[in-house]
Structure 1
Amino acid sequence: MTISDKAEALDIEPGVIGKGRWIERWIPENELFWEARGKQIAFRNLAFSIVAEHIGFSVWLLWSIVVVKMYGTFDSSGALVAAGANGWALTAGQGFTLLAVASGVGAFLRIPYTFAVPVFGGRNWTVISAMLLLVPTLGLAWAVSHPELPFTTLVLVAATAGFGGGNFASSMANISFFYPERRKGWALGLNAAGGNIGVAVAQKLVPLAIGLGGLGLANAGLVYVPLAVAAAVLAFLFMDNLREAKADPKPTAASLKHGHTYLMAFLYIGTFGSFIGYSAAFPTLLKVVFERPDIALSWGFLGAFIGSLSRPYGGRLADRIGGSVVTVLSFVAMAVAGYTAVLGVQHHSLLVFFVSFMALFAFTGIGNGSTYRMIPSIFTRIHADQGEDSDESRLDFKRRAAGAVGIISAVGAFGGFAIPFVYKWANETYGTIVPALQIYVAVFLAMAALTVAFYLRPGARMRNV
């Protein structure tokens, strides 16, 4: 007997919010319940989930702008010509390292954050995870004010920004329980886009905040301290826990038994991993490749902004024509944009490079939405193939899909760890980022081929998911 069955046996009305803001019975697939009460509750939780996730993403990518102000200017022999803000003199390699570490820790934390929802409840964990953002924000404010600190200390402080990256996995896993299957693409797309756009907001807000109050770089962290507290308070007051989502985390672990979980995780490296990796590195690329820190600080946010806005439309397109179709088209378009970015670097054309990256960001967003929409569709297909149609088996696979969302988001986010290091390798080895861009183009084409082979090829078990 499922939790919902037990609640029904006890004559608990669906959607009623009890002590501790726990909802004991939730039946979103019931159209009458959904229209009468479910969609209002689901949207309220979605809205405040977006607020918390937005702040989390902003904190995760704070260093992408801060490091631009911390770079030193060096001559051809490597001698320091001028220090950056607060007396710092980071090299391009050190900057890429800080960006990679923050992204990598955020990716790793997505795994335990995924398990946190069934253990603590979605609303409860949103409160906890928002308060944890005080660690990286206050840590950044302290560290950037002490240029005498060794670089290893700076790396450790940047690593704590990963708390913000972990929020995504728990938020997406939680929201997936609130919505019926037919509406998951749009809902998950909105939730993710609201979080993703935090990258763009941070990259636009931080340069303005740095110039206020005489605190300089410290403001980059301090400005988000009250916002993190506000997100926690709003989640505490207005979000709910679903009893169906609070269960043994075994279904999440069971999602690892399915090969498609690993394949989708790999594809998600190409979409979300590219989005977060390029978002982190783009301002630095404008500074290092084209020596335009003014453009980096004024317009570096635009790529993340475009990628965030396009994400829910990728989910909506996937709802209509199938996630696999949209995903393949996205990978091909990303390969084309990556190739034109190579031309921009080779001909030292900032315009071509910038426009190419805007297109690249747009299609990473669309691909993010479509790949995420594929996940619940795949698990629904697996459940149907097994021939089980009980409420208990449906709930189990729903939980597996929610768990897979978190696991896949964790693996995919490691792209944000790898991309800055690949840029660092190319720049230090060849003196240009062109080899890195060429590698990305080849990877995108390989991912498009894999998607066709497993999800579009005639006769494929999961065709047109």
Structure 2
Amino acid sequence: MTAPSTAPAPPSPAKKGSRWIEEWDPENEAFWNEKGEKIARRNLLFSVLSEHIGFSVWTMWSVLVLFMGPEYGLTPADKFLLTSMVTLVGAVVRVPYTFAVAIFGGRNWTIISAGLLLIPTIAAFAVMEPGTSFSTFLWTGLLAGIGGGNFASSMTNINAFFPLRKKGWALGLNAGGGNVGVAAIQLIALAVIGASGGPRVLLGIYIPLVAVAAVLAALFMDNIASVKNDTGAAVDAAKDAHTWIMSFLYIGTFGSFIGYSFAFGQVLTNQFGRTPLQATYLTFIGPLLGSLIRPVGGRLADKYGGAKITLWNYVAMGAATTVLVVAGMQKSLPLFVTAFVVLFSLTGIGNGSTFKMIPAIFQTKALAEGLTGEDAVLYARRLSGASMGLIGAAGALGGVGINLAFRQSFLSYGSGTGAFVAFLAYYAICFAVTWAVYLRRTAGRVTASSSVSEAKPQLSYAEV
């Protein structure tokens, strides 16, 4: 079997329909200023909306389990297992969702993926009552995992719309706006619980919102014809070591964000004895700040380099986690919540900086291969788009690990402190990997004017 070509994918054949864009060149400043930016921003807006609803549906079980009191017959371990499995499905479906954009078109797949969210929402509405078996809740929860896939397809789609110099901001804003869906469903749940409403009221609010997101995508989004399905890109991305290095780092940032989003409320109720209402008053703050600050992480990476921001962000994450360990041992709820909210914010910054690194890494590799101009852009877009799905899936798997670690920690020690010690060790390793791979070597950087013969064997990625 011959190895797949790493050359840029050939132009896509013309697509019929008014929502297909046949020519798209965002790196051309004249094109960008004349019409490209306006189109890209419009697609970004409605991509964010769909992804936002997707995140809310994916993480709705982090809220629903708080409604499920003793009458539901579920133990804390059952609830952590349930949220772990929902996270797992969300991670796995990110891979096919990434390539669905190239098969169906970004607009078309946004419509389909938004519409699919009706399935888990209606199913949860049907089964959410005492007396339902744990296995039924588990299978119904697994359906909600498809909401996690919307992130991968949305990021792949938006990556194609923006020029490299604006990708950090655009991808950060896209992902951050989607991530806010975690805090949004928790805030709505707070209002529902405060009004003495049940879980079906919460689900009833989201069913029409799903339909609205699909309709708006149909009316206002576009497909880019040149984003052609290329299975070779997936193979090439999977073979590239940087895909897996960035996956490891993204587990530390996004895996922490989504894992803590599912687990925060349960930690408060099980370790600190908070009621569901008291826990919900606190749980939305961390995901909200972590989501809103993600574009800041992207913007900082645009300015200073993603590797540098990622490196020092892991230092800060380690410090916040150390405070969490101390707060847990001292049973100090104010200190614990404060440190957790800070940690959430840091995961958001890291999410933005790591995703900025991905297209820049492949752009650097394109230049090292001797490619220039449009050829380099197509190479970088092809492999960065394919790798984003794999990296996004790996990051979401980190959320599974977070919840399983909490489950084991509560079973073994009766608190989450043991899990936080494990997370601290992981962040330390992420710091070491970031420094060793992307910042340790500063000589031999490949510039736009370098030829492949001038490239040093070891490239520097210090400015990615």
TM score, norm. by length of structure 2: 0.91
Task: Pick one of 209, 219, 232 that aligns with 1:227.
Answer: 209
Match of 1:201 in 2: 184
Whole-angstrom CA distance in 2 between matches of 1:292 and 1:210: 14
Does the CA-based 8 Å contact 1:71-1:95 persist in structure 2? no
Match of 1:397 in 2: 380
Whole-angstrom CA distance in 1 between matches of 2:108 and 2:424: 41
Whole-angstrom CA distance in 2 between matches of 1:144 and 1:2: 48
1:189 Cα deviation after fit: 0.3
Match of 1:121 in 2: 105
Does the CA-based 8 Å contact 2:9-2:228 persist in structure 1? no
Q: CA separation of 1:5/1:20 partners in 2, compared to 1, >3 Å: closer, same or farther?
A: closer
1:207 Cα deviation after fit: 3.1
Whole-angstrom CA distance in 1 between matches of 2:165 and 2:375: 20
Q: Which amino acid aligns with 2:64?
A: V
1:223 Cα deviation after fit: 1.3
1:251 Cα deviation after fit: 1.6
Q: CA separation of 1:393/1:321 partners in 2, compared to 1, >3 Å: closer, same or farther?
A: closer
Whole-angstrom CA distance in 1 between matches of 2:335 and 2:198: 33
Q: Which amino acid aligns with 2:245?
A: L
Match of 2:242 in 1: 260
Deviation digits for residues 370-414 of structure 1 (CA, Å, limit 9, x no counterpart): 000000000001111111236456413311111111110011110
1:215 Cα deviation after fit: 6.6
Does the CA-based 8 Å contact 1:210-1:220 persist in structure 2? no
Does the CA-based 8 Å contact 1:209-1:223 persist in structure 2? no
1:69 Cα deviation after fit: 1.8
Does the CA-based 8 Å contact 2:67-2:198 persist in structure 1? no
Q: Which amino acid aligns with 2:432?
A: A
Calculate the aligned-residue CA RMSD, in Å: 1.8
1:2 Cα deviation after fit: 6.9
Does the CA-based 8 Å contact 1:118-1:249 persist in structure 2? no
Whole-angstrom CA distance in 2 between matches of 1:6 and 1:288: 57
Match of 1:11 in 2: none
> Per the alignment, in what secondary structure is the counterpart of residue 410 of structure 2?
helix
Match of 2:66 in 1: 68
Structure 1 residue runs of 4+, over 6 Å off?
Answer: none
Task: Pick one of 294, 297, 321 that aligns with 1:314.
Answer: 297
Match of 2:34 in 1: 36
Whole-angstrom CA distance in 2 between matches of 1:117 and 1:32: 27
Whole-angstrom CA distance in 2 between matches of 1:180 and 1:335: 33
Q: Which amino acid aligns with 1:419?
A: I
Whole-angstrom CA distance in 2 between matches of 1:463 and 1:396: 17
Does the CA-based 8 Å contact 1:333-1:363 persist in structure 2? yes
1:211 Cα deviation after fit: 6.2
- 1:176-215 aligned at under 5 Å gives the runs 176-209=159-192
Whole-angstrom CA distance in 1 between matches of 2:413 and 2:198: 35
Task: Pick one of 231, 246, 261 that aligns with 1:249.
Answer: 231
> Per the alignment, in what secondary structure is the counterpart of residue 433 of structure 2?
helix
Unaligned runs of 5+ in 2: 1-7, 443-457
Match of 1:292 in 2: 274
Match of 1:455 in 2: 438
Match of 1:10 in 2: none
Q: Which amino acid aligns with 1:140?
A: A
Whole-angstrom CA distance in 2 between matches of 1:271 and 1:457: 21
TM score, norm. by length of structure 1: 0.91
Match of 1:408 in 2: 391
- 1:39-438 aligned at under 5 Å gives the runs 39-72=37-70, 87-145=71-129, 147-209=130-192, 216-293=198-275, 294-389=277-372, 391-392=374-375, 394-438=377-421
Q: CA separation of 1:135/1:6 partners in 2, compared to 1, >3 Å: closer, same or farther?
A: closer
Q: Which amino acid aligns with 1:347?
A: Q
> Per the alignment, in what secondary structure is the counterpart of residue 227 of structure 2?
coil
> Per the alignment, in what secondary structure is the counterpart of residue 160 of structure 1?
helix
Q: Percent identity?
A: 45
Deviation digits for residues 9-49 of structure 1 (CA, Å, limit 9, x no counterpart): xxxxxxxx961400000010110110110000000000000
Q: Which amino acid aligns with 1:259?
A: A
Q: Which amino acid aligns with 2:41?
A: F
Whole-angstrom CA distance in 1 between matches of 2:76 and 2:245: 33
Whole-angstrom CA distance in 1 between matches of 2:193 and 2:110: 28
Figure out how many residues of one structure are paired with residues of the other and give that number: 440
Does the CA-based 8 Å contact 1:120-1:246 persist in structure 2? no
Whole-angstrom CA distance in 2 between matches of 1:210 and 1:223: 13
Does the CA-based 8 Å contact 1:331-1:445 persist in structure 2? yes
Whole-angstrom CA distance in 2 between matches of 1:358 and 1:32: 43
